[in-house]
Chain A
Amino acid sequence: MHSIDRRCFLKSISAAAGASVLTVPQSFAATPKARVVVVGGGFGGASAARYLRLLDPGIDVTLIERGKLYTSCPLSNEVVSGERDIRTLQRGYEGLARRGVKVVHAEVTQIDPIKKAVTTGDGIAYSYDALVMAPGVDLDYSAIGGLTEELADTRIPHAWKAGPQTLLLKKQLEAMPDGGRFIIAVPKAPFRCPPGPYERAAQVAMHCLHHGKKKAKILILDSNDTFSKRPLFEQAWKALYGYGPGGMIEWIAGASGGIVESVDAGAMTCQTTFDEHKGDVINVIPPHRAGKIARDIGLATLKGNWCEVKPESMESKAHKDIYVIGDSCVGGELATGNGFPKSAHMANSQAKVVVASLVAKLNGLPPPVPIYTNTCYSVVGHDWGFSVVHLFRVENNQWVYVAKGSGISPVTFGTKEAPKPVPRVYRKMEAEYADGWLRNLMTDAFG
């Protein structure tokens, strides 16, 4: 039975992935070629585990992840607005297990980079030849006065890790009366999903329009002075919901008093540098930093918050044989402000870089030339979506942001002097593409 499974498995790989130099045949030796442990089963960790097994089934892969069901953050704003069932965003780990990944549901309590071992809460140690860290971000509640993790779970959800809080925020939105005010507080960048808060504002506005709450207000209190895909969001907000004073959506920049310093859950108010804002729903997204386990072992070399890695392989600058991917790492062309966006697709792309590099290394092959890409869609209304794409290459061991293979959907057509509106059909297309993109991305990561 086992050998039949293995044959089918190999057959399905070659069918799906094509014959590949680095699709190394299964070693039938009792001991694996190498042991790789992956910590964290989000888009980055799942992609790394899956692609390791796709490219070289001779590698023993263990994925350690707390949760048994993953909920995609991308498109979860559609769950808040009631446009999407959360189940369409959820995946278990059976697909990875079928690929031969050993999935362990446990909490990682300790990592020893010298002895090369990962210990879980039940005291079991997993030794590794290479460790892929994909712990995601921690939210720093202490940065906002009056905010606690318990409040986030009950009264003031961030809903920035999709799951129960997404549904809580949806409930709060549904209960909000006409004329109610929905506050979204955006943390200082960098944060996960740069266009996310602004897409959320649009989804909330759409919900209100569809539910007879035409006098509702969505107030974005931003710690930053500009934001991702801004001209596209502002255009859509204006056309669909009204934007600015008198409109449904209002945005206050950090420099204009948008920075939320504290909250009062009893009075349901947000205190900014200059003002107090009362909300019927308060959605405070606390500042981010790399997951605790990564910080604990010294991987967060950038200001103690983010993990720096090598461009050619995503190997940590702090520890040999530890690779850091996903929202906890930092990379890209930072000097020009073109860093890696913290997105699911970026994590998936980083995972592929790690895997290509590791598989080559473990098989004594020359390192492949890495390439990093990102595609990220935002849906702001029925038939209105847009995207951003990124391309990074590596030259002389440095990331290079390739501007001509990057950028947002067109804001206008025509010339600068005589701009013409982009036909609505273009926005409709990208709203449709968003769904197909996410289904493929989830399958690429989780199988």
Chain B
Amino acid sequence: MTKNLLALALLGLSAAAAARDDIEVLARTCNGCHGVGGVSVGLSMPSIGGLPQKYLKNIMKQWKYDERSAITMNRIVKGLSDDEIDALAAYFAKQRWVPSPQPAAADLLAKGRSAVSENCEDCHGITGSDPDVDAPRINGQWAKYMELELLKYRDGKFKMPHRKMKKSAQDMKSADVPAAARYFGAQDK
């Protein structure tokens, strides 16, 4: 113990900082599916690093308490304490948002932009990089993931508590769904 404290002092670290490492150990378990620092390379898996703390905390708690439908995450978060969820939300919110801009055809982008200005811009910003406080950034988020998520909002078989998002998603024309997803997915900034 003395040796540990000495080492901490030598490295200029406080005990509090050392304790913080536990959240990194926990956060690292998320990397397997969401990438190091929450930067995903899997098309159907969202990047989560740099998303708003409130958004991350809300969805994890809603999954945990069965207020929001998920297929895999709802099982995973049930094993976490509320404190761990808060810490994970704070941790990933502090990471840098790294967009993964995916190229798309110009006509699809134009169609997407028009659908976005009508249905999404109000909360997410026209490129998805300027969200409301409880909404995620989605510029350069994976289009495939966003399409699947929109399906959850539109399908009616999923419990999705955000009324405005649900309504906006359901107002969209079917053909606009992939276009909007591809448009946001193509945005760098």
Could you list which residues of chain A lie within 8 angstroms of chain B, going by C-beta atoms?
A: 15-18, 20-22, 51, 54, 345, 348-349, 352, 356, 360, 363-366, 368-373, 375, 387, 389, 391, 402, 404-407, 409, 423, 425-426, 429-430, 432-433, 435-441, 443-444
Q: Which residues of the other chain, A, contact B80 by a CB distance below 8 angstroms?
A: 405
Across the interface, A356 reaches (CB within 8 A) one of B11, B25, B148, namely: B25
Contact B72 A389 (CB under 8 A): yes
Q: Which residues of the other chain, B, contact A441 by a CB distance below 8 angstroms?
A: 32-33
Q: Which residues of the other chain, B, contact A435 by a CB distance below 8 angstroms?
A: 42-44
Closest Cβ of chain A to B84, distance in Å, is 9
Q: Which residues of the other chain, A, contact B33 by a CB distance below 8 angstroms?
A: 375, 436-437, 440-441
Across the interface, A373 reaches (CB within 8 A) one of B3, B29, B34, B43, namely: B29
Closest Cβ of chain A to B30, distance in Å, is 9
Given contacts A433-B72, A435-B44, A440-B34, contact A425 B155 (CB under 8 A): yes
Given contacts A17-B36, A375-B32, A405-B79, contact A432 B144 (CB under 8 A): yes
Q: Interface readout for B25-64 with A: 1 if CB under 8 Å, 0 if not?
A: 1101101111111011111110000000000000000000
B144 closest partner in A (C-beta): A432
Contact residues of A: prevailing secondary structure: helix
B167 interface residue (CB < 8 Å to A): no
Contact B95 A391 (CB under 8 A): no
Across the interface, A21 reaches (CB within 8 A) one of B21, B32, B142, namely: B21
Contact A20 B21 (CB under 8 A): yes
Could you list which residues of chain B lie within 8 angstroms of chain A, going by C-beta atoms?
A: 3-4, 6-8, 10-11, 13, 17-18, 20-22, 24-26, 28-29, 31-37, 39-45, 71-72, 75-80, 91, 94-96, 98, 142, 144-145, 148, 151-152, 155, 157
Across the interface, B76 reaches (CB within 8 A) one of A22, A405, A433, namely: A405
Selected A-B contacts with CB under 8 Å, 30 pairs: A15-B98, A18-B95, A349-B32, A352-B25, A352-B29, A356-B28, A364-B3, A366-B4, A369-B22, A370-B25, A371-B25, A372-B29, A375-B33, A387-B72, A389-B75, A389-B76, A391-B79, A425-B151, A426-B157, A429-B71, A429-B148, A435-B43, A436-B45, A438-B42, A439-B43, A439-B45, A440-B34, A440-B41, A443-B35, A444-B35
Which of B8, B11, B76 is packed against the most chain A CB atoms within 10 Å?
A: B76
Q: Which residues of the other chain, A, contact B8 by a CB distance below 8 angstroms?
A: 365
Contact A406 B25 (CB under 8 A): no
B27 closest partner in A (C-beta): A18
Contact A404 B42 (CB under 8 A): no
Q: Which residues of the other chain, A, contact B6 by a CB distance below 8 angstroms?
A: 364
Q: Which residues of the other chain, A, contact B98 by a CB distance below 8 angstroms?
A: 15
A434 closest partner in B (C-beta): B44
A-B contacts, CB under 8 A, total: 149
Contact A436 B75 (CB under 8 A): no
Q: Which 7 A-B residue pairings sit nearest by Cβ, starting from the closest?
A: A405-B79, A436-B42, A364-B7, A436-B44, A436-B45, A439-B42, A391-B79
Q: How far is the CA of A349 from the CA of B30 in the complex (A)?
A: 10
Closest Cβ of chain B to A122, distance in Å, is 34
Contact A426 B32 (CB under 8 A): no
Further 5 A-B residue pairs, CB within 8 A, beyond A352-B25, A405-B79? A15-B96, A389-B75, A405-B80, A432-B148, A433-B45
Contact B13 A18 (CB under 8 A): no
